[in-house]
Structures are given as structure tokens and as C-alpha cells.
Amino acid sequence: MFYVQRDQHNALVRVESQTFAEATGTLPADHPDIQTWFAIASSLKQLQQSDSEMIRVLDDLIQVLTSKGVIRITDLPPAAQVKVIERTQARTALGGLSELINDDESGLI
């Protein structure tokens, strides 16, 4: 049994296994609304977990495109320019640690 809160359109906005003050009802675990809620929650969790990996892909893509002259950093919106420059500086700073951060076992760590 799950405690649920619904909005004015009868859509679920919160589902908990324990009672909470804003609960507007209960539903059994096999109810379609509960099944849909957890399916969506699972998909969102998968997306969140892949965000850091995707950020690295996009970061690398921007680096490749700028190094090949396909785009310029100034082609990006100002806020994006700042973020790209900050990440580039951070990656450059970590590049000095490449001898310590190594995938093979011959490195120091």
C-alpha cells in the first residue's frame, strides 16, 4: 500500500510507503498509477546517472569541434562559454596529474 498525493487534476505528485501530512489517499502496489509512477521514476534515475557521462561526451565534442575550427568558443552563448572555459581549465590542471591517474597497473597508483 502506498500513500499518495494528487493535484487538482487528479495526477500523482507524490508517492510514499509511509504516511505523510499531504497524503490525499492510498493505492495498492499493483495499481496502474503506482506502476506508471515507478516506471517514470526509474527512467528519470537512469537519465540522472548517465548525466555525468554525457557531460564528458559533450565536453569532448566541443573540444574536438573547436580544435578543428568547426565552431569557435564565441559561437556559444556567454554562459556556456564560461562553463566550457572553466571545464577546460580544470581538465588542463588535472592533466598534470596524468602520471598518477592511470588505468594500467604500471602507474604510481
pLDDT in tens, 4-55: 999 999 999 999 999 999 999 999 999 999 999 999 999 999 888 888 889 8
Name residues whose C-beta falls within 8 Å of residue 29's C-beta, 6 or more positions apart in sequence.
Answer: 1, 2
Entry pTM:
0.50
Tell me the per-residue pLDDT of 71-109, one tens digit each, with 9 for 90 and over. Answer: 999 999 999 999 999 988 888 888 755 544 455 545 444
Q: Where are the domains of the chain?
A: 2-71
Residue located via cell numbers 575550427: 69
How many CB atoms lie under 10 A from the CB of residue 2? 20
4 burial (CB, 10 Å; 0-12 / 13-18 / 19+) is: buried
